[in-house]
Amino acid sequence: MALWRISVKNSGNAACKDKRQRLEKGMFIETGTASTTPPIGIVREQPMLAQLFMNKYGIEIDLHHMNSSHFNCERIG
């Protein structure tokens, strides 16, 4: 099992379904995966990552924006 920290690269507006919400640089979530492949690049992991941001910050991120151009993915364990 690998542990990951997914963090926002730059502050800005998040493209969401119905409205724009503010993402701040440094916001992060942590998650574990069975694979050693970074979860930010795996399509089947994106809904889980978006849900973790929703649970922690109340921000609903569009899955099309859940990629490495907007987020850093760092292995922490």
Q: How many domains does the chain have?
A: 1
- Measured CA to CA, the distance from residue 60 to residue 76 in angstroms comes to 25
User: What is residue 26's predicted lDDT score, i.e. its pLDDT?
Assistant: 94
Task: Count CA atoms within 13 Å of residue 41 on its CB side.
Answer: 8
Tens-digit pLDDT string for the chain (77 aa):
899 999 999 998 776 656 667 889 999 999 999 989 999 988 899 999 999 999 999 988 888 778 888 899 999 98
User: What is residue 51's predicted lDDT score, i.e. its pLDDT?
Assistant: 94
How much is the pTM?
0.85
Q: What is the pLDDT of residues 12-31, one digit of tens each?
A: 877 665 666 788 999 999 99
Domain that holds residue 38: 2-75
